[in-house]
A = this chain, B = another copy of it.
């Protein structure tokens, strides 16, 4: 078998279209991202993932903007090119300014640096952290 192609709405079976419809409605977009078009090859994963994302990314104690910025932070740390592009766009749409993006990148960079310094110096956890 070979590399998969995206499944477009017009070619999708009813269970996939149902998920695409919900994504488009919740996100107020005319078409879904490539991510969902590829995940559609496994309708169970498509549905489970969308339901989870919808629940997790909804406004709560953290705003959708904050949640998208956290998503960018993780994607940048992992080096997922698709996700960096996708969630940076989503964060901008949710209100992330270029100043916020710059500060976000600065924190992600520092955190990835100090994580390794803590590893390399074998720093023991301070008792004070758990009081």
- Main DSSP-derived SS at the A contact region: helix
User: Within 8 Å CB of A83, what residues of B?
Assistant: 111, 114-115, 118
| Residues of the B chain whose Cβ atoms lie less than 8 Å from the Cβ of A10 | none
Residues of B within 8 A of A86 (CB): 118, 125-126, 129
Which residues from B are CB-within-8-Å of A117? 35, 39, 45, 49, 105, 109
Q: Tell whether A61 pairs with B99 under 8 Å between CB atoms, given A55-B48, A121-B39.
A: yes
* Chain B residues whose CB sits within 8 angstroms of the CB of A100 once the complex forms: 61-62
Q: Which of A49, A114, A129 has the most CB of B within 10 A?
A: A114
Q: Is the CB of B116 within 8 A of A109?
A: yes
Contact across chains for A79 and B77 when beta carbons are under 8 A apart: no
Chain A positions near chain B (C-beta within 8 angstroms): 1-4, 33-35, 38-39, 41-42, 44-45, 48-49, 52-53, 55-57, 60-62, 66-67, 69-89, 92, 97-100, 102-126, 128-131
Q: Which 5 A-B pairs have the closest CB atoms?
A: A42-B102, A74-B111, A113-B113, A3-B130, A38-B121
12 A-B pairs whose Cβ atoms sit less than 8 Å apart in the complex: A2-B130, A42-B106, A49-B114, A52-B52, A60-B99, A61-B99, A74-B111, A78-B79, A78-B112, A80-B115, A83-B111, A85-B129
